[in-house]
Homo-oligomer: A and B are copies of this chain.
């Protein structure tokens, strides 16, 4: 009855779905200033309705997540990798807390990438990324990622231009490889305006329960906003492959951002359409054996 859709490597398709299609970055040149950071693409309700809509995704997204998890426990190789990128305060942590937080934590693997350690630097920039890839059936989430190696590394001249310049192709090869191994890659750029960032940083300074999140270095990075915008545009242009496309999430409205990314996850899970694995034992025989105990 249950068709076993456990795929072979290379069979994973780019996810499709209504919101995925709407938020996907078209191939070609990217002009981030043309994207409205306050848009609520695909959602027509109010903020309060958006919060309710997010909560209502919970059961459905965790049901599909469990199906994928079950498939992975029975030999399936498929898994999802959600890559979250965005300027400071764009809400990578908020998406994880409020969106991924709706899922079963047993089926999540969350990795937050900080500045690489000396040991990591010696290994090549993709080494630590490979270590953090989700296993079969798991939804992996990267809070920052290998894209930092063409973002801060480029803006801050952490490596010479020929080095970061080569990385776009290296990233594309890497993402093609992991896609072929069963990973569906969903890359989200959480897009906020410069004004919104200022408001959020001020809010952190005004709230003693948020001081721990504030880092004076954030203001230094903010002063490089145009350079970061340029670096993001380059990443969204040069690493926007059919295997692993980019999505721009309008993120000035936190409730929309959380709803949108969670909806992308749900559409991706539904697109994979994992089925409950058939029994690998004789159900009636097991019932009899159990009854005898």
Contact = CB atoms under 8 A, between A and B. Distances in A.
A116 to B, nearest CB: 17
Interface stretch (A100-108, A177-185, A247-255): A100-108
15 contacts: A2-B208, A70-B213, A96-B106, A101-B103, A105-B108, A106-B110, A106-B143, A198-B293, A201-B290, A202-B290, A205-B287, A205-B290, A211-B279, A214-B281, A222-B290
Contacts of A198: 290, 293
Contact of A216 (B100, B208, B286): B286
Interface string A88-106: 0000010011001101111
A134 interface: no
Nearest to A67: B209
A128 interface: no
Nearest to A216: B281
A44 interface: no
A277 interface: yes
Contacts of A62: 97
Given A205-B287, A219-B286, 8 more contacts: A93-B106, A106-B112, A205-B283, A205-B290, A208-B279, A211-B278, A219-B293, A222-B293
A97 B276 CA distance: 18
A73 interface: yes
Contact of A219 (B1, B212, B289): B289
Nearest to A209: B276
Contact of A212 (B70, B202, B212): B70
A212 B283 CA distance: 12
A97 B69 CA distance: 13
A93 B105 CA distance: 10
